[in-house]
Structure 1
Amino acid sequence: MTTTELIATLRLQSIPNIGSVTAKKLIAHCGSASQIFSSRKTDLLKIDGIGTLKLKNIFDTSHLDAAEEELQFIKKNNIETLYFKDENYPDYLKHAIDAPILLFKRGNINLKNRKIISVVGTRKITSYGTAFCEKFIADIAPLNPIIVSGFAYGVDICIQKEAIKHGLQTIGCLAHGLNQVYPKVHSKYTTDIEKNGGFLTEFWSTSTPERENFLKRNRIIAGLSEATVVVESAEKGGSLVTADIAHGYNREVFAVPGRTQDKYSLGCNNLIKQQKAQMITSAADVVYLLGWEPKQKPKITQQQLFVELTEVEQQIHSFLQTEGKQLLDTIALACNIPVFKTSSTLLNMEMKGAIRPLPGKLFEAI
């Protein structure tokens, strides 16, 4: 990208009321960001979905001044820019309609031909969540995936520290510019992350870590990867927003179940109950459900939460062991159990780690 085009793209990115979707419409219509600013406003108003409110400030030269100032920061700090039409822009993110038109990168990120998974969760991680993160990374490390997270307190930094420990590439998606680190206490991890991975953000050096920035940042976490894993979450939280976005992108979403009375398992349990996420209890589930085939099969153990089955559950389990993957209706018919009861029984069996759901609404025994 030429300097002229980069300045025009920065200028477009900085204009209020023009988000990523509108910016892409304007670029598609005009051919490039620079050509937008040489167009007449009357011509731009002919674009579907573009109104006077969105174009109110488009020719305000103060945005050009700001873009030129930000470019100096980019050059001075050797920051790489990733334009949404260029080859170096993350492949998975290209398929997200509201992905940023421009990203800023620091570190040694290599996203080509790699397995990529996002891992998120509560900032108030418990010992249960910590133990899961440690085992998950240890088990999945032989596949050498990229681990994406938000570099925040709790699950984010726990999973990224484990990735560093096992030599995996990890990416921190930030809710502010690359001129700062938030939270500051995590500054001690930046060097290690940048050695094998790095940081991505859509925010300028003038941005601060405001609440709305974290919510915007979540779509990048969801969009970068093939799947999102929620380790722990309360009934409400940013990780559930990320899961919803990933679900909306038609990406796989996985959730780690917990006891019904545990505050930081409520969000995960609800995702599973609402069928917005598939239940996982180990790295083995992710490897299987994503169809990741390792060159050398790692030792991944399947964790089971419970072992005792009721008579009806045992009947279903035996049927699936004999017949393999089956649909809900087929299971109900073969076992002579009403569909509504079969559905609730299968959910209980998932929670016990006796079966797993598969794409296409299939179930199989574990």
Structure 2
Amino acid sequence: MNQEDLLWVLALQSVPKIGDINAKKLINHCGSAKAVFNEKKHHLTKIDGIGELMIKKLFEKDYVSGAEAELRFIEQECITPVYYKDALYPEKLKHCIDAPVVLFQRGNINLQGKRLVSIVGTRRITSYGTSFCEQLVAELAALDVVIVSGFAYGVDICAHKAAMKNNLQTIGCLAHGLNQIYPKVHAKYMKEMEVNGGFVTDFKSTDKFDRNNFLRRNRIIAGLADATVVIESADRGGSLVTADIAYSYNRDVFAVPGRVGDTYSVGCNNLIKQQKAQMLTSAADLIYSLGWSLEKETAKPIQKQLFVELEGDENVIYTFLKDKGKQLLDVIALECALPIFKVSATLLNLEMKGLIRPLPGKLFEAL
């Protein structure tokens, strides 16, 4: 997108009452954002959903001067604007009806052909939630998954930090323009995130910071990813809104179960009970449900290696599968006296070494 086109898109975005859905209707009908401002009013009224109040606002004042200031900010701060018709616009987000007309990016973001998982949850994460989040991301590392979250306290920053620890690309979706950061205490993570990943937002530098922005931001978290995972949540909260949005987009939603009565497990348990989310006990659940395979990450199918050295848990699990044949994940954990998260991580390692393979129904067998 050239600068002139971007200027008029920014101007259109500044018009009150328009929004992303109607902005795209106007652009698609007129051919460009600039053409919208040059179109005759009576022609615009024929567009479905475009009312007289919107048209009045469109011609009420000059929006170009404000757009010029925003364009200068974009250039000065090395921000990459991605238009919804551009090839680099995130593929999954493109299919969401209310996706942003323009997404502002900063960092080294590459989503082409990538698998994306959004991880959300309470800002008051417990030790249980922290441990599960870190282990989940570690287990997903073998698939080079991009971790998406909201850069907030609690589950969000835990997911981002776990991604960086495992050398995974991670994307922070912000509820404000790229001229600020919230919370400020997380500014220390920005440079590291921008090396492999970065930040996205649809808010301009002139947009005021407001709590309601988080709800608007959540649609991007849900829309970017193949699946949304809720780690912990009370009976109300933004993560449940994100889960609902992902569900409305017909995306896979997963929730980590917790003990009945635990404050920050109520939301997750309710999502599972209402069948809005699948129960998630390990990365293996997500990998199986999404039909992902480790073989996609290699240039050729994984072949069994000769004289492979196995260590500790790997040897225990592989020997068990060789002796017992096809076994369920839960049975492997029980019989080998290992926690589920360790079994899941070890199974992924064994699969990468070409020694086992996953089967439908959460079964695994030795090769």
When normalised by structure 1's length, the TM-score is: 0.81
Q: Once the 2 structures are TM-superposed, how far is the Cα of residue 365 of structure 1 from its aligned partner?
A: 6.8
Q: Distance in 2 between matches of 1:186 and 1:142?
A: 27
- 1:215 maps to 215
- 1:286 maps to 286
Q: Distance in 2 between matches of 1:209 and 1:266?
A: 30
Cα deviation digits, residues 266-323 of structure 1 (max 9, x gap): 00000000000000101111111111101378x9x9xxxxxxxxxxxxxxxxxxx99x
Native 8 Å contact 1:171 1:200 kept in 2: yes
- 1:26 maps to 26
Cα deviation digits, residues 101-154 of structure 1 (max 9, x gap): 001000000000111110000011011100101111111111110000000000
Determine if the alignment matches structure 1 residue 271 to structure 2 residue 271. yes
Q: What is the SS of the residue equivalent to 2:56?
A: coil
Cα deviation digits, residues 230-249 of structure 1 (max 9, x gap): 00000000000000000000
- 1:331 maps to none
Native 8 Å contact 1:182 1:209 kept in 2: no
Determine if the alignment matches structure 1 residue 143 to structure 2 residue 146. no
Q: Distance in 1 between matches of 2:362 and 2:190?
A: 43
Q: Which runs of 5+ in 2 are unaligned?
A: 303-310, 314-326, 329-339, 342-359
Q: Once the 2 structures are TM-superposed, how far is the Cα of residue 14 of structure 1 from its aligned partner?
A: 1.2
In structure 2, what residue type is equivalent to 1:206?
A: T
Q: What is the SS of the residue equivalent to 1:119?
A: strand
Q: What is the SS of the residue equivalent to 2:192?
A: helix
- 2:317 maps to none
Q: Once the 2 structures are TM-superposed, how far is the Cα of residue 61 of structure 1 from its aligned partner?
A: 3.6
Determine if the alignment matches structure 1 residue 56 to structure 2 residue 56. yes
In structure 2, what residue type is equivalent to 1:88?
A: L
Determine if the alignment matches structure 1 residue 107 to structure 2 residue 107. yes
Q: Distance in 1 between matches of 2:66 and 2:362?
A: 59
Q: What is the SS of the residue equivalent to 1:205?
A: coil
- 2:345 maps to none
Question: Which is further off, 202-211 or 237-246?
Answer: 202-211
- 1:316 maps to none
RMSD after superposition: 2.0
- 2:260 maps to 260
Determine if the alignment matches structure 1 residue 193 to structure 2 residue 193. yes
- 1:11 maps to 11
1:1-366 equivalence runs, <5 A: 1-295=1-295, 364=361
Q: Distance in 2 between matches of 1:251 and 1:148?
A: 14
Cα deviation digits, residues 73-94 of structure 1 (max 9, x gap): 0011111100001101000000
Q: Distance in 1 between matches of 2:145 and 2:272?
A: 24
Q: What is the SS of the residue equivalent to 1:125?
A: coil
Q: Once the 2 structures are TM-superposed, how far is the Cα of residue 209 of structure 1 from its aligned partner?
A: 2.9
Native 8 Å contact 1:117 1:225 kept in 2: yes
Q: Distance in 1 between matches of 2:191 and 2:61?
A: 38
Q: Distance in 1 between matches of 2:143 and 2:268?
A: 25
After TM superposition, the runs of 4+ consecutive aligned structure 1 residues lying more than 4 A away are: 363-366
Q: Once the 2 structures are TM-superposed, how far is the Cα of residue 55 of structure 1 from its aligned partner?
A: 1.8
Q: Distance in 1 between matches of 2:211 and 2:77?
A: 26
In structure 1, what residue type is equivalent to 2:102?
A: L
Q: Which runs of 5+ in 1 are unaligned?
A: 302-320, 323-351, 354-362
> Percent identity at matched positions?
60
Native 8 Å contact 2:151 2:172 kept in 1: yes
Native 8 Å contact 1:12 1:23 kept in 2: yes
In structure 2, what residue type is equivalent to 1:204?
A: K
- 1:336 maps to none
* C-alpha spacing 1:140/1:365, structure 2 compared with 1 (3 Å): closer
Q: Distance in 2 between matches of 1:238 and 1:56?
A: 34
When normalised by structure 2's length, the TM-score is: 0.81
Q: Once the 2 structures are TM-superposed, how far is the Cα of residue 162 of structure 1 from its aligned partner?
A: 0.5
Q: Once the 2 structures are TM-superposed, how far is the Cα of residue 207 of structure 1 from its aligned partner?
A: 2.1
* C-alpha spacing 1:116/1:54, structure 2 compared with 1 (3 Å): same
In structure 1, what residue type is equivalent to 2:215?
A: L
Q: How many residues align?
A: 307
Native 8 Å contact 1:256 1:280 kept in 2: yes
Q: Distance in 2 between matches of 1:19 and 1:191?
A: 32
